[in-house]
């Protein structure tokens, strides 16, 4: 394969850090498979996809939590395609060695089990996939990993790499010493208060007329959520006891997401050695540092195979893991009582629009357009001058949701 031919198994974002090129495998951990072959060179090269191989990607973790389990099926795509391409119309079945079969149905890009179920110890589970184009895939049989509850999640003020922020650690302990291999995911949710919200707003009444009306209070406070994307692994196999204190998240004190109230839900998965090594390999690939690194990764084999064609590549791992979760909350002022709030994520300086039409300084047409497309938010009127800010500064619903999550505690 030469430099003009790139066979992609994932989407890659290249970030120029000034010192090195970092391969940021930012999509889904199971998509961290790719093959890049370069001759010795250091000049910049724009990655393009002239050819690529479409490969099935499987994300499937079945746990001991009684719920409707999920499986996500997608295919690899060229680098220039930004969206994940989901596989539709497939038959997805999880079965065990006691004759139980759990059928999954398609739902919004995922396959959800029709009935809630949980994985049990001492049972063997297998994933079977039949696609609408007649291909069949199956996993090796997997058993539930040891059960070990997450002991605690804490948030403390620390300094990391000369940056002060909030360090979120997990603590876990297994007195039996059977757990050993840990994987973590988290979902963070944070409260947003629009810093320039006022109780009035502008609306377009006619082609050259604006009106000022009451602004609904439900545009002031919002809640946003995000899921972890990094592969977070820890193991205690070389320690004298199965005891863990692990950093899952560090947030700078200047990050606006902790400006008010913040919550994080941490999931702890206990892995077996094979699944741990699989995720560790993916993490090693994502942390290779430079696309010109001597470590040139290739295809990473999981536990899924094509029934029809043993040589066909399949990306992913059917994981049967015990899970436990814990949620915590904290307020910025509780951790940083004497500091100003972090800066908002966007500039909220006022922009003045003289509401007249014609030559500058008139900006009536621009104001009508920006108000009509909800690009700006009203502050106050001074003569013919409308003082406005960017919409997110005065209306958090322009980029977030004003629906309070059902789990949220103020």
Going through 38-151 in order, the beta strands assigned E by DSSP cover 56-63, 70-75, 85-86, 91-96, 101-107, 110-113, 124-130, 136-139, 142-143
pLDDT tops 50 at residue 296: no
Q: What is the pLDDT of residues 152-181, one digit of tens each?
A: 999 999 999 999 999 999 999 999 999 999
Cβ–Cβ < 8 Å for 58, 111: no
- Render pLDDT for 353-384 as a digit per residue (tens, 0 to 9): 999 999 999 999 999 999 999 999 999 999 99
Where residue 48 falls among pLDDT bands split at 50, 70, 90?
Answer: low
**Distance between CA atoms of residues 93 and 307, nearest Å:** 15
Residue of 351 and 288 predicted with greater confidence: 351
Fold of 152-193+224-269+331-335: Immunoglobulin-like (2.60.40)
The answer to whether residues 49 and 78 touch, using CB atoms and an 8 Å cutoff, is yes
Which parts of 228-372 fold into alpha helices (H)?
273-286, 332-335, 364-372
- Supply the pLDDT for residue 285: 80
Q: What percent of the chain has pLDDT over 70?
A: 84
Q: Diameter of the chain by CA atoms?
A: 81
- pLDDT at position 50 is 58
pLDDT reported for residue 51: 62
What is the predicted pLDDT for the residue at 83? 85
Is the distance from CB of 253 to CB of 342 less than 8 angstroms? Answer: yes
The pLDDT tens digits of the residues spanning 2-28 come to 333 333 333 333 333 333 333 333 343
Name the residue among 286, 179, 295, 189 with its Cα closest to residue 231: 286
Mean pLDDT, to the nearest integer, of 35-57? Answer: 57
- Predicted confidence (pLDDT) per residue in 298-328, tens digit: 567 899 999 999 999 999 999 999 999 999 9
Domain borders along the chain are 13-145+274-320, 152-193+224-269+331-335, 200-219+347-398
Classify residue 291 by burial, with Cβ atoms within 10 Å: 0-12, 13-18, 19+: middle
Cis peptide before 361 (omega within 30 of 0): yes
pLDDT tens, position by position, 99-147: 999 999 999 889 999 999 999 999 999 999 999 999 999 999 999 999 9
pLDDT digits (tens, 9 = 90+) for 214-269: 999 999 999 999 999 999 999 999 999 999 999 999 999 999 999 999 999 999 99
Mean pLDDT, rounded, of the chain:
87
Instruction: Determine the pLDDT at residue 298.
Output: 56
Highest mean pLDDT among 5-9, 70-74, 287-291: 70-74
Q: 4: alpha, beta or left, given left = phi > 0 and alpha = psi -120 to 50?
A: alpha
Cβ pair 255, 166 in contact under 8 A:
no
Q: Residue 306: helix, strand or coil by DSSP?
A: strand
């Amino acid at each position: 394969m030469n430099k003009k031919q790139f066979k992609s198994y994932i989407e890659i974002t290249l970030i120029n850090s000034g010192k090195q090129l970092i391969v940021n495998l930012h999509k889904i951990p199971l998509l961290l498979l790719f093959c890049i072959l370069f001759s010795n060179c250091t000049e910049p090269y724009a990655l393009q996809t002239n050819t690529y191989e479409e490969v099935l990607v499987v994300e499937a973790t079945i746990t001991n939590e009684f719920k409707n389990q999920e499986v996500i099926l997608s295919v690899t795509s060229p680098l220039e395609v930004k969206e994940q391409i989901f596989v539709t119309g497939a038959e997805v079945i999880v079965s065990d060695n006691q004759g139980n079969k759990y059928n999954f149905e398609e739902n919004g890009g995922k396959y959800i089990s029709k009935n809630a179920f949980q994985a049990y110890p001492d049972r063997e589970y297998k994933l079977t996939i039949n696609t609408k184009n007649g291909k069949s895939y199956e996993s090796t049989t997997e058993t539930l990993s040891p059960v070990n509850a997450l002991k605690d999640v804490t948030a403390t003020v620390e300094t990391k790499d000369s940056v002060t922020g909030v360090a979120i650690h997990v603590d876990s302990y297994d007195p039996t010493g059977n757990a050993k291999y840990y994987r973590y995911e988290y979902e963070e949710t944070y409260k947003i208060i629009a810093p320039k919200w006022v109780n009035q707003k502008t609306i377009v009444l006619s082609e050259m007329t604006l009106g000022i009306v009451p602004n609904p209070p439900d545009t002031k406070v919002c809640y946003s959520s995000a899921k972890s994307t990094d592969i977070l692994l820890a193991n205690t196999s070389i320690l004298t006891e199965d005891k863990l204190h692990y950093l899952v998240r560090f947030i700078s004190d200047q990050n606006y997401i902790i400006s008010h109230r913040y919550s994080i839900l941490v999931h702890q998965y206990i892995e077996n050695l094979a699944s741990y090594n699989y995720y560790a390999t993916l993490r090693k690939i994502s942390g290779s540092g430079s696309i010109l690194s001597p470590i040139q990764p290739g295809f990473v084999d999981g536990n899924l195979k094509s029934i029809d064609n043993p040589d066909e590549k399949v990306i992913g791992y059917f994981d049967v893991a015990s899970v436990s979760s814990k949620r915590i909350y904290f307020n910025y002022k509780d951790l940083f009582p004497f500091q100003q709030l972090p800066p908002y994520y966007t500039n909220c300086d006022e922009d003045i629009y003289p509401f007249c039409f014609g030559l500058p300084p008139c900006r009536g047409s621009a104001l009508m357009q920006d108000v009509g497309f909800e690009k700006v938010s009203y502050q106050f009127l001074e003569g013919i001058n409308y003082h406005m800010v960017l919409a997110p500064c005065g209306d958090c619903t322009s980029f977030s949701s004003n629906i309070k999550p059902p789990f949220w505690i103020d």
